[in-house]
Amino acid sequence: MDIESLFAELHNLPSIPKVAQELIQQFDNPSSSLESVARNIERDPVIAAKVLRLANSARFRGTREAVSVEDAAMRLGFNTLRTLVLASAVTGAFKADSGFDLKGFWLRSFRVASVARCLAKQLKLDTDAAFTCGMMHNIGELLIQTGAPDVARQLNRQPQRGAAAQAAEETLQLGFGYPEVGAELARRWQLPPLIQNAIAFQARPSQAAGDARYARLVAQAVMVSEALAANGVSDKARQSLEGPLFEEVDLEQLFDGLPAVLEGDKAFAELLG
């Protein structure tokens, strides 16, 4: 099987709703206002409901309940709204299949995205682009689940493995892994080349053509996320990451900030899960 055959098996390519696409473009426009964003959000009942729920969650709840999308938008702010709309759009494009833990998949994706944003802030990279790359980094896995169900079911029955081992096993079975599939989906969704490149080369950032910083950042975020899953925010987790890939990262500073970030992002993860 090649990637074209995989996409041919999907019949209907997962799509981001038109309103969500317009909102993502609107967030990237420096002249956009919260009021105009709120008016667009009102056009999508699913996103509007999530915005209201998040604004009234324990993390953001004010002295009174937010009863309109505009109230909620003012309370959440531009960056939080952007994160919610992007995550909601991507998660809503896919449905669960039997034998695959979709909720666990999105929780891991969100954790990688959160870590990527922290790393980007330290490394002085675009935090919004980093979050998007993290959220999308393993999106190809869902297409493999849908387009190659027999192989996917076989892989799902095996013990859970790390990202590198997962991609290697998929390549052995199919001739390609989730990074290549995810990059092709990002291309078909017309996402920026920076995001396509980061997804495609996350397992081999040194081979990325042009700007390899975001591919390297995704590789770092995935490794941090796996260390956190194994050992929590601990010295053991931090020490397991020491090596060439993290030579420009202050791991102590990163781990000092992670508990607050991961706790703060729980509201997002629960809302999307």
Model confidence at 21, in pLDDT bands (50, 70, 90)? Answer: confident
Q: Which pLDDT score is estimated for 237?
A: 95
Residue predicted with more confidence, 154 or 235 = 235
Q: Where in the chain is the domain with CATH 1.10.3210.10?
A: 3-10+97-272
Residue predicted with more confidence, 248 or 5 = 248
Residue predicted with more confidence, 9 or 212 = 212
As a dihedral over the C-alpha atoms of residue 106, residue 146, residue 154, residue 136, rounded to 10 degrees, the angle is -30
Is residue 97 scored above 70 in pLDDT? no
Q: What is the pTM of this model?
A: 0.82
Is residue 11 scored above 70 in pLDDT? no
* Domain 3-10+97-272: assigned CATH number: 1.10.3210.10
